[in-house]
Structure 1
Amino acid sequence: MKHTFLLAFLFLTTFSFGQKTTFNIKYSEQLAVFVFMQNISESYPQNVFKTEFQKSRYNNDHYKDIVSKFDKLAIDYSYSFDGFPYGSKIPMQTRDILKKNLIETKNLNDFKLRSVGILPNKTVCDLAEMITLFTPIYNELIYNPNKEQFEKQLVEITRYSKEHRIEVFFEIGLLFYNSSWDNSIPFEIAFYPLPNSPGFTAQAFYNNFISAIQTNLKDYKDLFSVMLHETFHIIYDEQSLEVKKDIDKFFKENKSKSSNYSYQILNEVLATALGNGYVYEKLDGKIDSNDWYYHKYINLLARKIYPIITDYIAQKKPMDKDFIDNYIRIYDENFPDWINKLDNIMAYRYIISENQDDFNSIREMFWYRSSEENDTEISEASIDKMQKTPLTKIIIVSKNNKEKLKLIRKQFTELKKWHFNADKDFSYKILLEDKSQLILLNQKTATIETLIKTLK
């Protein structure tokens, strides 16, 4: 895409077509300082915020110690919605709830009161104190030098949103996804300045969208198409349990051998076709000729399904069984070999290995991933857990090879007649009954990279 953006991705109750969801556009100093501290911490790669901090007078042991303590705060917890089909609903993330509370409260005391019970009180209070200490630093280094231009942008963005009736795209998404929203819940959009950057960031969660915008941004159609892309993820996530179960059933009952992998990519493809395709076209008057998404599989499939997306929107029809069947057919007819493309199927993976370094090796080879689970024990229990997911299944055997390979063969009915030589390096791939690929790597002397390259 023309802009670099971060993907991340969450909603509730009833929607009546004709009513409007409110989009509140604002600047949140509290959020901006929180994000600033994230970006200058040691765990983050080099970025414009870190560069400004490192060349400032605050780059000393005292403030670096505060940043280090911030980085070590235990603020990341989550829980899954186990009643929903696997992967169809985003787990709750406490970090995102904290960001939501920073956006929606007027001061840090209100933030603490709102956040009581999410984390231990001391953790919330420590976080608020750190934000307080770094607020004047953030303002001196980032906000004040860019204040005039950013505040002008904020006025222009607000005007652009109203002139182009952005809430209508939200309503179109609700109808297409057969999802719901309580219009008494406003959508809170928080922007903050991003100096010396070629692109903007984008993240949506709960009823929030946040974005750091480059200070020279003047054309807002890209920003809003990406914003709606991320918002469509929220709408997809908020489909009812019944709708999600129906979609899951439609994919599983389809006879295509590619139905599983076309399902795995669905969420991102739909958001891309709707946001980067439909919304962009409506804002600009023509379809974007550039890549709609930076990952080629999503980009290509989103373009192929675009005609049926626009047809459903024109007819004001929600996605249904016919849509899913046509989607899978388009996947099959245009990309029949994708089921064997490693950089496609490795985007949705479950890895079992007794060597922790193997996880990093896989990530280096296949950097793009939408879903990943890991386990460090090859056992009946771990394999059983793996089999309950629709993800690509990778098992790397490097210890007690003969014993472990026998266990694997016993656990997978598809391997009943499989023969192997445990004393030799080999790789093996087979399509399982659940239409996910199983990849076995038997490691004696070869590297993981070498074994993967031998896969056919």
Structure 2
Amino acid sequence: MKQKFFALFFLLSFWAFGQKVNFNIKYSEQLAVFVFIQNLSEHYPENVFKTAFSQSKYNTQKYKDLIVKFERLPIDYSYSFDEYPYGSKIPMQSRDILKKNLIETNNLNDFKLRSIGILPNVSLQSITEVISAFTPIYNELIYIPNKGQFEPQLKEISRYSKEKNMEYYFQRGLQFYDSNWDVSIPFEIAMYPLPNSTGFTAQAFYNNFISAVQTNLKDYKSFFSVMLHETYHIINDEQSLAVKKSIAKDFKDNPSKYSNYAYQLMNEALATALGNGYVYESLSGKTDSNDWYYSKYVDLMAKKIYPTVKEYIAQKKPIDKNFIDTYIKIYEENFPGWINELDHIMTYRYILSENRKDFNMIGQMYPMRSSEESETQISMLSLEKMKKTPLTKIIIISQNNNEKLNLVKSQFKELKQWNFTPDKEFQYKVLLDDKSQLLIINQHQSALQSFFTNFK
């Protein structure tokens, strides 16, 4: 309760003294080169950077070896904030911190000094060596040919941001999410050119937004609505522990069987309603008639909750229990079949399978994923860990079937009356008391895909 009062006091002070968050828009060469090298990996799909490099004089074994070296560097580490409700706080990602440091430093030596301790020194040294080697290549192939368009465009985007007062929408998000922000911390927006493209990329983390922008971009309304969409994820992430616990409790206490999957969908649905709905309409004077999001579940839910979101923003009200109950009711009344649609519930998944290939296969069948955990052991311990999460639970049994099926049955009270034939292949689905779906697959010979096709 004290934390909520402090957040409210901070917000009132924020408005009273007229302070606002500074939006700094710039080009970051170091970040651009880092992303350029990532896109040259053979594991990345075809893209404009890979095409430019493959057709250049630099497509030699020397630089191919550096690309492989960069790709194999162990730079992805993370840790979770376990005191927060499950899934409500984004884990720390070392790759994002490295990108943040690339944006906020002026040279690679400063980057190394800023990043010491995040990675072993040998890995940090290797990153800077590869970036240094590819910087002139990036400039020759990408930046210099597009400089004449990109640099005026960057100035125009900065002008538009100031003219339309983008900081205002940031503040509206703080108020709506009942979140807070230290105004001494600027929001750093780093852009780099994306030639021969019809779209732009968007990612936000910590106090950063990064975007590859097509050099002929003119629709700044769409650009800033997407930018604010991503920024609202950060504002949501920065809610206090007390606020996050209160929201999680309101969802858990709601009696609707739909409340869990409504909760899983909320982060993306609200960011879409705010960014692609409220911000876009404010900038253009009308709502966007196109899809707001590429997932139908997010798109449709965002549009249904949008009138309520607009009402709360107009009244300067933060998310509260009434908003959450309204949100769940909208989900339940408009989309009751969604909790049985695999394309929806598989977006939030916990997989147990002793066949590691199953994880890749599920990823191919259901590429959309907001939360995912997986383990290769089906044991008392792994089942206990799975039960503590609100995710869709998938258990694939392909060996020692009778033993493993009995173990699974013993761990879920909802399976007390369940009967099965271990020698016969089957799939089984049940809604658990925590309002998540449990999917059990008993596999012998059939391909994994066939079981998912047969789920009702």
For 2:382 and 2:41, the matched residues in 1 are separated by: 35
**Count of residues paired in the alignment:** 444
The aligned residue for residue 225 of structure 1 is 225
The aligned residue for residue 69 of structure 2 is 69
For 1:112 and 1:91, the matched residues in 2 are separated by: 23
Larger deviation: 249-258 or 440-449? 440-449
For 1:22 and 1:82, the matched residues in 2 are separated by: 31
For 1:259 and 1:218, the matched residues in 2 are separated by: 41
Measured after TM superposition, the shift of residue 14 of structure 1 is 4.9
For 1:44 and 1:360, the matched residues in 2 are separated by: 16
Measured after TM superposition, the shift of residue 309 of structure 1 is 0.1
**Structure 2 counterparts to residues 429-440 of structure 1, below 5 A:** 429-440=429-440
**Structure 2 counterparts to residues 8-407 of structure 1, below 5 A:** 14-15=10-11, 16-17=14-15, 18-407=18-407
Q: 1:425–1:451: 8 Å Cα contact kept in structure 2?
A: no
For 1:260 and 1:160, the matched residues in 2 are separated by: 40
Q: 1:33–1:134: 8 Å Cα contact kept in structure 2?
A: yes
Runs (4+) of structure 1 exceeding 4 A deviation are: none
The aligned residue for residue 5 of structure 1 is none
The aligned residue for residue 6 of structure 2 is none
Matched letter for residue 98 of structure 1: L
Identity across matched positions, percent: 68
Give the TM-score normalised by structure 1. Answer: 0.96
- Point out where structure 1 has 5 or more consecutive residues left out of the alignment: 1-12
Matched letter for residue 23 of structure 1: F
Q: 1:43–1:71: 8 Å Cα contact kept in structure 2?
A: no
What per-residue deviation string (whole Å, max 9, x for no partner) do you get for residues 220-246 of structure 1?
Answer: 111100000000000000000000000
Matched letter for residue 158 of structure 1: S
- Point out where structure 2 has 5 or more consecutive residues left out of the alignment: 1-8
1:190 counterpart SS class: strand
Measured after TM superposition, the shift of residue 43 of structure 1 is 2.4
What per-residue deviation string (whole Å, max 9, x for no partner) do you get for residues 69-92 of structure 1?
Answer: 111111110000000000000000
What per-residue deviation string (whole Å, max 9, x for no partner) do you get for residues 293-330 of structure 1?
Answer: 00000000000000000000000000000000000000
What per-residue deviation string (whole Å, max 9, x for no partner) do you get for residues 151-200 of structure 1?
Answer: 01101100100110000000000000000000000000000000111110
For 1:107 and 1:14, the matched residues in 2 are separated by: 36
Q: 1:204–1:230: 8 Å Cα contact kept in structure 2?
A: yes
Q: 1:14–1:182: 8 Å Cα contact kept in structure 2?
A: no
For 2:276 and 2:197, the matched residues in 1 are separated by: 21
For 1:188 and 1:419, the matched residues in 2 are separated by: 57
2:455 counterpart SS class: coil
Matched letter for residue 302 of structure 2: A
Give the TM-score normalised by structure 2. Answer: 0.96
Matched letter for residue 271 of structure 1: A
Aligned-pair Cα RMSD in Å: 1.0
Q: 1:41–1:67: 8 Å Cα contact kept in structure 2?
A: yes
Q: 1:42–1:71: 8 Å Cα contact kept in structure 2?
A: no
1:209 counterpart SS class: strand
1:441 counterpart SS class: strand
Measured after TM superposition, the shift of residue 42 of structure 1 is 2.2
